[in-house]
Structure 1
Amino acid sequence: MAAASRRYSSAFLWIVLMVFGLKEACSQPLRSVHIRSVSENHELMQDDGKSLLLQSLELPTRESCRLHEELCPLVDQLEQYFRNSLVGRSLVIRKVDAYARNRYGLPLLQLEELDGRWVQQHLLEQGLARLRGGEQMTADETVMLRKAEKSARQAGRGIWGTEFGAVKSADDPGKLWPFLNSFQLVEGTLQKAAYRGDWLYLNFGSDWREDFTVAIHHNDLSAQDWSQLIDDLWRRRKLSVEGRYTVRVRGVLSLWNGPVIVVAHPKEIELSDVP
């Protein structure tokens, strides 16, 4: 009986230690990084020499400034923010995702300043960045960051007040040519879709050889969950005149036949009822 009592007491003690241990662990501050410097391409260099990037953002760089002079004041403002708010400071990592890396293997992180200001949200609100598409953002993060970007876009702040950064119309593909090989947002009337070979093509005009097109590879259609976007598009089609509806897409503008953006994630496509 005494042995059983000791076993129960030990078990109870173990549970208590586990509960309070977990509570203490949860009360510990989130992991942080200390930024030593920021490169011309906006790589954040840590004290240990390792680099990281701000996840989900497309930032104007010195290289884009040399090609598009109107971006230079924005790059100056962005670099000043980095110097004043990030360099020489510790930043809190909002979440740790070992799989969030760019094609060169650099970690992509969501960061907060020590006062709680979310770096990505702040840069989007100021018009100093545009939101990329996927990169493992949660649904809540997507909503919050799109809202921040929208406020700057509607006010014409920062990059949204430039010809380079403004949302482009798919109606005149010739006007897209000066912005080839750059990240852009293009908006237009989706007229039809076609599956050819390994690609799904969303056509924004009657002549796919010249008009703007969105291309999605079948591997990306299989790897991602497109169900919500497809449902939204289907409802829109039933409610729209002649089965047509307006869509906004974001990504690197390339040239195949006409201008094209290759999309790899459903978050890179959005319905644009609301500006």
Structure 2
Amino acid sequence: MHRTAIASLAAALLTGASPAAACEGLRMAPGGLVTEVVDGDTVLLDSGLAVRLIGTQAPKLPLGRDDVSAWPLAPEAKAALENLALRREVQLGYGGEEKDRYGRALAHLFVGSGDSLVWAQMHMIEAGLARVYSFPDNRRCLDQLLAGEARARAERLGIWTDPYYSVRAADRPDEWLDRAGGYELVEGRVLLADKNGPRVYLNFGRFWKEDFTAVIEAPALRLFERDGLDPLLLEGALVRIRGWVDDRDGPRIEVTHPEQIEVVARP
């Protein structure tokens, strides 16, 4: 059964989570031998299959793109995944959409065999060399990964010592508006949760054309409803929202599934 990061909006404090040792409920499949580590969240197998470690985002490398600069700690993240997985047998676990538009497998990666499997996603996140990055069609085990990320952040491991990855203050968007186009974690108190037509707006300031806003469109609202969650109940709550920032009437993040919102403190 699918478990969400916030089982209900009345009792959704991730700080109280106690993650299990490994992700369960997946469709397991043989993987093969890892022949190359592309970066901190992508590997190549001896079959020629590229595997994207679903649920995580490691610091990015240019990978031959002239217009892309390496993110801080990108070489360290790649080295950590190499130390874990390179030239080792792996198994793949699927918990949602199984291929992306590039033909890469979207899978949880388990390194080793028998009872000694290491869940690569959790390994990278707990080391502070990746953060949780999720999709509405691939939500398995995000609660565990979010709890692992919270531990790494609390211990200031890896990326959590670098300002590039800092959690942004929702009430000070002028300090990070230049991050528009990037993937960010933004934390603040919801001043107003309001439904207007088919969408819900979570407003973090009094001037919606300037302040930070999270937008939940109709398809995402159906996922909230399916999980028994009402985002309007977030009014007054201190929350952390993750996603891609755009600049439309002030900085915004579109929330496409419930796990993008972590409740830090209830109203």
TM-score (norm 1): 0.75
How far did 1:269 drift?
0.7
In structure 2, the residue matched to 1:83 is 82
Residues 127 and 40 of structure 1: is their aligned pair in 2 closer, same or farther, counting only changes over 3 Å?
Answer: closer
For 2:155, give the aligned amino acid. A
- State the structure with more CA Rg: 1
Report the Cα distance in structure 2 between the residues aligned to 1:271 and 1:68, rounded to whole angstroms: 33
Aligned match of 2:110 in 109, 112, 136?
Answer: 112
For 2:139, give the aligned amino acid. M
Residues 205 and 108 of structure 1: is their aligned pair in 2 closer, same or farther, counting only changes over 3 Å?
Answer: same
Contact map agreement 2:239 2:263 (CA 8 A) in 1? yes
In structure 1, the residue matched to 2:38 is 39
For 2:174, give the aligned amino acid. G
Contact map agreement 1:226 1:266 (CA 8 A) in 2? no
| Partner secondary structure for residue 220 of structure 2 | helix
Contact map agreement 1:35 1:45 (CA 8 A) in 2? yes
Report the Cα distance in structure 1 between the residues aligned to 2:39 and 2:196, rounded to whole angstroms: 41
Q: Which has the higher helix share?
A: 1
How far did 1:246 drift?
0.7
Report the Cα distance in structure 1 between the residues aligned to 2:245 and 2:230, rounded to whole angstroms: 23
In structure 1, the residue matched to 2:241 is 249
Residues 176 and 78 of structure 1: is their aligned pair in 2 closer, same or farther, counting only changes over 3 Å?
Answer: same
Percent identity over paired residues: 28
How far did 1:200 drift?
1.9
Confirm whether residue 121 of structure 1 aligns to residue 122 of structure 2. Answer: yes
Confirm whether residue 49 of structure 1 aligns to residue 48 of structure 2. Answer: yes
Residues 175 and 67 of structure 1: is their aligned pair in 2 closer, same or farther, counting only changes over 3 Å?
Answer: farther
Report the Cα distance in structure 1 between the residues aligned to 2:214 and 2:180, rounded to whole angstroms: 14
| Partner secondary structure for residue 178 of structure 1 | helix
Equivalenced residues, count: 232
For 1:262, give the aligned amino acid. E
| Partner secondary structure for residue 51 of structure 2 | strand
Report the Cα distance in structure 1 between the residues aligned to 2:52 and 2:133, rounded to whole angstroms: 13
Contact map agreement 2:199 2:221 (CA 8 A) in 1? no
How far did 1:87 drift?
2.2
Report the Cα distance in structure 1 between the residues aligned to 2:62 and 2:153, rounded to whole angstroms: 23
Residues 102 and 254 of structure 1: is their aligned pair in 2 closer, same or farther, counting only changes over 3 Å?
Answer: farther
Report the Cα distance in structure 2 between the residues aligned to 1:230 and 1:219, rounded to whole angstroms: 14
Contact map agreement 1:98 1:107 (CA 8 A) in 2? no
Report the Cα distance in structure 1 between the residues aligned to 2:179 and 2:216, rounded to whole angstroms: 21
| Partner secondary structure for residue 118 of structure 2 | coil
How far did 1:36 drift?
1.6
Report the Cα distance in structure 1 between the residues aligned to 2:87 and 2:119, rounded to whole angstroms: 17
In structure 2, the residue matched to 1:149 is 149
Q: Deviations over 1:119-154 (max 9, x none)?
A: 11111111101012345333xx23321221111101
Report the Cα distance in structure 2 between the residues aligned to 1:195 and 1:269, rounded to whole angstroms: 17
Contact map agreement 2:242 2:260 (CA 8 A) in 1? yes
Report the Cα distance in structure 2 between the residues aligned to 1:149 and 1:68, rounded to whole angstroms: 24
Residues 266 and 175 of structure 1: is their aligned pair in 2 closer, same or farther, counting only changes over 3 Å?
Answer: same
In structure 2, the residue matched to 1:168 is 168
Mark the runs of 5 or more structure 2 residues left unpaired by the alignment. Answer: 1-27
Report the Cα distance in structure 2 between the residues aligned to 1:32 and 1:49, rounded to whole angstroms: 11
How far did 1:196 drift?
3.4
How far did 1:227 drift?
4.3
How far did 1:47 drift?
1.8
In structure 2, the residue matched to 1:136 is 138
How far did 1:35 drift?
1.7
How far did 1:98 drift?
6.3
Q: Deviations over 1:233-270 (max 9, x none)?
A: 63xx6xxxxx6221111111111110001110011111
| Partner secondary structure for residue 136 of structure 1 | coil
In structure 2, the residue matched to 1:200 is 200
Residues 108 and 248 of structure 1: is their aligned pair in 2 closer, same or farther, counting only changes over 3 Å?
Answer: same
How far did 1:180 drift?
1.5
Q: Which has the higher strand share?
A: 2
Mark the runs of 5 or more structure 1 residues left unpaired by the alignment. Answer: 1-28, 238-242
